[in-house]
Structure 1
Amino acid sequence: MENTKKPDLNRSHDLTIEEVKSFPMFAHFSEDQANEVIETVKRFSEIVFYDYFNNNMDKK
């Protein structure tokens, strides 16, 4: 029986604006820009995860 249920991507803690701005390359970002970094990282992580998940499911 194949597991076709999508994995749960919910996290208990998202990256915060303060955490983003703690990195020197992002220190000068506005809150809106830091929030965009957070959303971009989350989306990129989903893409990578689903690609990995789908490629490994294909091998089974």
Structure 2
Amino acid sequence: MDDDNSDYLDEPDDCDCEDYDADILEGRARCFRCGRSWRMTTQQLSAETRWQASMFEASDADIA
């Protein structure tokens, strides 16, 4: 690959999986960088739910 992000895809074993998409209904996460998928822990799900709720409240306050 010739793009600037090619190093992300060349070495998936070196990925720290910090930047991921979370599906709180299914309890799964998927890393944007390497594509790994995993079941989230109860603590991860709780933190993600709180974060999503705060983002929703913030966007709702912006509308009002």
TM-score interval, smaller chain? 0.3 to 0.5
Task: Tell me: higher relative CO, structure 1 or 2? Use CA pairs within 8 A at least 6 residues apart.
Answer: 1
Higher strand proportion, which one? 2
TM-score normalised over the length of structure 2: 0.45
